[in-house]
Structure 1
Amino acid sequence: MPSSAGPSIDTITEGGRVTQVGEGQDADETTPPVMTFGAPTAGEILAERYELVEHINNDSAGRLVWRGVDVVLRRPVAVVLRYPGGESATEMLQAAVAASRVIHPNLVGVYDAIDEADRAYVVREWVDGRSLRELVADGSMDGGRATAVGNAVASALAAVHATGMVHGNVHPGTVMISDDGRVVLADARTDGADTRESDVRAVGGILYFALTGYWPHAEAPLRGATAGHGRAAIPDAVRDAGGAAAAPRQVRAGVPAYLDDLTMDLLDAEIAPPSSDVLSAELARLDVPADDDYLDNSGPLRFAAEPGDEPSPLAAAGGRKVALGIAGLLAVALVGLLIGINTLGGDDEDPQTSPVAAPTSSTPVSEEPAAPVTRNLKISAARIIDPDSRNRSEVRDAEKVFDGDRDEGWSTETYPRSNFGNLKRGMGVWIDLGAERTVKSVQVNLSVPGASAELLTGTVNAPSTSTGDDQVLTAYLKNRIGQPFEAHDGTTMAFNGFDADQKYRYLLFWITDLPQSGNGFKLGVQEITVQGS
């Protein structure tokens, strides 16, 4: 087992090869060992709960990263320690507390943050897998895989930004890919030096790195590079005389034009980047199986929408190469070519050759259907599902969950215990999208943290009575979307486990346990947002 004085980057566990980067700092092989006094030892139990099993690595800021076990819940955890605690650990602990409030499939979960004065530590989810930096060291990714990684990172940032926070630490060392293919973003920072825009531009850097193996941000390399954040392990992008990075398609063959354009747009300081939720929606649209034929991987990104639909939000946010404009230029070039051929041919033109009609402005550019645009879907109706109560006093105000006002929503009454006083199986909010839709994600904003809930779906639309509510619940419990949240420590729940090949009309946000509020237990649902097409 590696000692704390000699960092070991990689460890073999039953789940595979692992790299656990400490609080966003890439472990740097060139950094001298960090000496600490009173270092923890294997078998030690922190906070009477977290047993240290094996030291994984030290980061360049002196944090120690251990693999551990939560002896209460019997689950593996990563423990990031800093010596000493107190004021020197404030930024690390604040970042961990902020990150713990956002629960999302593409964010590493943060479980605990403890300051013991002589040392401080953060306990977070253990990820069996490797960082993006390590994976790309074995070879750059194809367009489809790079798009999937970018989509996951943008989706995580959208969840972070929805709470008003900034991640501030997006780079190949904090993007991790688990052995089962899950992409997660780790180790947010809270030092105030970054913005939402810099987060979004960092997604361009992630795409560039995944496609080429180079880092494009010369003016803003990996944060803290001079202090040794593993920057030397990532080569700088190939640049022209003016310092501009070469486009991915100039670095390697096979990069799809649409992804090349999107990446360079995100990196171009003269083009305003889209918001993270818009970027997430656009990358989700592009993150499709390779055998889907509506996306031309050899040509530029199509920002056109279906007739009657709004244009792609990313086009309005700064996309610069629109397929229609390219097709128009090609049409003009073809007309010029035909005229030139006709002029050079003169009277020698073969009379048996059928004339070729030049394209006109009315000639359709393409008969292929445009890809669907992901946007916020309209909720046409909502009601409260309360199957175990004959008193229907809590079924009012359901319309407030989709009125656009997060300061006002629907709330349960106050109960003596979290399980609705053992009087009910739960309560929920049923929503109707008005028609069957392709749904990408559902975000639920709550009044307080600590609730347990899940998202269900079905086709039953029964009357708003106790009997009707029971029919809805019984039918919908068979169809869960994604994973349920247990004692969720944030105020935003994001559900993303929708089947791309299935249409949805009715959804049920079902609450199984209430958080404490004052002298009792209650919960408010402030707003429900559905994204899809």
Structure 2
Amino acid sequence: MDTRRSEQAGGANHVGKAQVGSLAPGRVVGDGRYRLLAQFGVDERGDAHLWRARDGQLKRDVALTLLVGDPADPEAARLARRTLERATHASKFGHGGVARVLDVLALGSGITSSEGLLGVVVAEWTKGSDLVDLVAQRPVAPAAAARMVQALAEAVEQAHQNGLVLGLDHPQRLRLTPNGALKLAFPGPLPESTLRDDVKALGAVLYLLLTGRWALPGGPPAIPAAPMTPQGRVVPPRQLVPTVPADLSSLAVRTIEDGGNGGIRTSAAILRMLEQVAEEEERTQLIKAVGGDPAESEGTVWTTKKPVKDVARRRKLALGVTVLVVATVVILAWGGLMLINVFQGDSKASGPTINVAAPPASSQQNGTQPPASSSAPAPPPTPAVGAPVAPQSAAVYNPEGSGDNTGRAKNAIDGKPETEWRTEKYKQQFPVIKPGVGLVVTFKDPINLSQVKITGGTPGTKVEIRSATGKNPDLADTKVVGNGDLKDGETTIPLAQPTQGEYFIVWITQLGGADGQFMTEIGDLSFLPAG
């Protein structure tokens, strides 16, 4: 762990607690299963220490929220039990903005009293950057900050509809994913946290992105506190950074502060305002694009990671260049034939004879044969396909969360279109909240896939067929081998060329539906190998 990380994470440690001092990289907790790798923060309010660790049993990295305390202290033990109960309830919640809770350990159930811990919340590890690192050099552009908080607010709204408190009111519990989305990486809400605390946290996160300062109590030493007016109110972000739009500045302050009739108290209200900001930003960017404004940095998200390669964009660019080259060759060939015709003195023809259509039905019925034309290429033969091959298993593939209706994934391969798998309902279309979601299927033996048939799909849905090397790969490590739009009934998606593989992903890049009710259903999937 580097010096800067130690200062950020360890600056808030209670020096007098021996058990805290023993939390160091290399230590093993949780009945010897989790080896601590690096500390990423401390939420002093609940003695919650945030660590990245290695699961020695499943050989994967995880996020640990370690509740430090004296097991002999009944009040501390009671508060820890309350946090663990909330974390257990959150384990049933799936959203791309919240890391999935994998396990909850308590005293006598995965933790011994000698470990100096009152509980452990185990969550999937979130790749990306620290929120503290994100704002360390400079604030985030207002448009990008609004989009990032908007995605996080959608997670809060969905959690609150399910009666869950997320507990994201500490900046070191959040991380920025490689796709530029904020995610609650260390779940485990404090025992006294309320729904209102989650809403205030959204305002504080927006304030932090816009100014680089934290506007709630209990922030980490690595982040300066927001300045206050003589009347005890938070100084608006616009006074600190004049380029911040007035509506965003007002939104942050009105969400954080409790008093007054103008306060914002629900995540739904925040979402409505952020959607208005996003629409205004789109109009502004359109005006800039039409006017040729070279300022393209607005909305850029700075991260400490290398930018992720945009595979889809590169593929589209390559396809466009290929089409342009082919069109150019055809035009040049046609022009050459025109010149040859002119120099041969054929005044009756204005160009080469090109047969672009099948002969009329009447000529076939009269027994006449159409004239032969050497310039009419024969249509390519339709690739032969074999009988469908049933996958061994199907699972929801969602790199940004725990997936949508994971228990129903098997319905898509049971051969019964009436038993479907469906996504969650989203208020916004992909990729605003996340890049997509899909199903990964596994075959017992590799197949040479040629086509995928989708029965009972929601019209308007756009899908990609991707080949993969495992059940849970990074999206960047998968390869697009086919794509198509779903329609009523059955949709056949041919692959560009037969692809050998054991794992394939049906990846949804655009949901069906409209008007804030975006969702896709898939009745059944059939995988046809090359014949």
Task: Give the TM-score normalised by structure 2.
Answer: 0.49
> Which structure's residues are more often helix, by fraction?
2
Select the structure of larger CA radius of gyration: 2
